[in-house]
Amino acid sequence: MEQESNVVCLTEHVYRKVLKLMGNRFEVTIVDDDRLSAMEHINAAIDEVRRIEDLLTTYSESSQTSLINRNAGIQPVTVDREVCELILRAERISRVTQGAFDLSYGSVDKRLWNFDRGLTALPDPVTARQMVRLINYRNIQVNIERHEVMLLEPGMRIGFGGIGKGYAAERAKQLLQQRGVRSGIVNAAGDLTTWGLQPDGTPWTVGIADPDSKHHPFSYLNISNQAIATSGNYEKCIMIDRKKYSHTIDPKTGLPVTGIKSVSIISTNAEIADAMATPVMIMGVKAGMNMINQIKQIACIIIDDQNRLFTSDNIKLQ
């Protein structure tokens, strides 16, 4: 586990803490006049992310997500209202993306794809399709009045990997704003949300990772009160017959997506940005960009396998 850092002062009035949360590197950066109060605000935000992780993780049998999955095809389970509401918002994104985003992707597990081990061959398409037969967001039933969730098919599994980090970042930002923090960034492994301005009155400058060298920026954006999430083929990938396959799996075929190196979504909300990045990668340049251009307050940057750059409207790259 990455060593948890103390709160550090980056420049005058700008404080940051870096640590591992939800299995990923989180950075919480805020503007504050006092180091002690900055530390209290940041630690409150971290507690909020940990609370959400406890609700959503599939790595703990005691989480509400695990409870839902264990009862798939058996009975509805009672969960917190915020879990019901998050599932309902995820269902709306599934409809908008025609299933390219699907919360029930959890049936595709490491029996089919294990990018942590040296894969040498693709699974055959028939096996892949059999593994994804349980992926269907229409079979997630939510009773918001009773706070109940039921998966209709035995063996179904949901997971919040495509939306959870963005949701947690957004909730942490909201908590910091409620505490009176006037400006900051919550960065959940590249899915980040910003508000306010830097102490010198300028917007925050955010780097977008170069898909060929993820530790170096491809470009910069000056943003405030906006969120960015990036899905790339560089996070987890394998080479088979000299062709790169990313960890992004098409829920309809069970096979990895090809053709796009990275998708960055800019939105006013980190949860939406997080949830929309992967489906655009799955849908491809033409269909993905066409969808984004029809949705208000969302912009998109795509880099394809030939390093061609595609952008939606109102994006200024430096």
159 forms beta bridges with none
Report pLDDT for 72: 96
Mean pLDDT in residue range 281-294? 94
Mean pLDDT of the chain: 89
Backbone angles phi, psi at 91, to 5 degrees: -65, -40
Give the residue ranges of DSSP H helices in the chain.
35-56, 64-70, 81-96, 125-131, 164-178, 270-283, 285-292
Neighbours of 295 (CB within 10 A): 14
Quote the pTM value.
0.90
Q: Are 33 and 186 in contact (CB under 8 A)?
A: no
**Is the pLDDT confidence value at 2 over 60?**
no
Q: Are 114 and 77 in contact (CB under 8 A)?
A: no
The structural domains of the chain, with segments of one domain joined by +, span 8-53+164-311, 64-151
Q: Are 29 and 7 in contact (CB under 8 A)?
A: no
Report the topology of domain 64-151.
T-fold (1.10.3980)
Consult the annotation and say whether 78 binds a ligand: no
Best CA proximity match to 231, nearest among 293, 163, 139, 173: 163
Q: What angle do CA 246, 231, 216 make, to 5 degrees?
A: 95
8-53+164-311 shares its CATH topology with 64-151: no
pLDDT band at residue 152 under the 50/70/90 scheme: very high
Q: Cα torsion for 195, 201, 203, 204, to the nearest 10°?
A: -70
Q: Are 15 and 7 in contact (CB under 8 A)?
A: yes
Backbone angles phi, psi at 101, to 5 degrees: -100, 125
Instruction: Provide the percentage of residues in the chain whose pLDDT is more than 90.
Output: 65
Burial environment of residue 163 by CB neighbours within 10 A (0 to 12, 13 to 18, 19 or more):
buried
Pairwise CA distance, residues 160 & 53, whole Å: 10
Pairwise CA distance, residues 257 & 128, whole Å: 13
How is residue 144 written in tokens? 């918001």
Consult the annotation and say whether 33 binds a ligand: no
Query: How do beta strands 260-267 and 227-232 pair?
Result: antiparallel
Coil/strand/helix, residue 14: strand
**Is the pLDDT confidence value at 295 over 70?**
yes
**Is domain 8-53+164-311 classified as CATH 3.10.520.10?**
yes
pLDDT digits (tens, 9 = 90+) for 60-77: 999 999 999 999 999 999
Neighbours of 71 (CB within 10 A): 15
Consult the annotation and say whether 274 binds a ligand: yes
Pairwise CA distance, residues 19 & 10, whole Å: 16
pLDDT band at residue 117 under the 50/70/90 scheme: low
